[in-house]
Amino acid sequence: MSTINMSIRVDPELKAQAEYVLNQLGMTMNGTINMFLQQIVREKAVPLNLSLNAEQSLYADLLFAQSDRAKGFIGRSAQDALADMDSIIAAAESQTDQ
């Protein structure tokens, strides 16, 4: 799979803070951005929760989850989700090594 270079503008302090957090999680900026883009494609939505009130957002998320369960949606285990994340990170990091 071929890759392209992307250029974005970001505040240097914000970038440093984000890299610090990602390093603690064992992740790279490149791998994280690739995961973000893959999630956008997979879910056909931007995976951000934009809210001025976190409590209202949590309540809305709970109602949404309740509705999904009523429709027969079966969730995934945290272990399965983490295994998928590990695979995605490894694939993204192997792309950067090429």
pLDDT digits (tens, 9 = 90+) for 3-20: 899 899 999 999 999 999
The per-residue pLDDT for 9 is 94
pLDDT digits (tens, 9 = 90+) for 74-94: 877 888 889 999 999 999 998
Higher-confidence residue of 64 and 98: namely 64
Q: Residue 55: pLDDT band by 50, 70, 90 thresholds?
A: low
The per-residue pLDDT for 35 is 92
CA distance 94 to 98: 7
pTM as predicted: 0.50
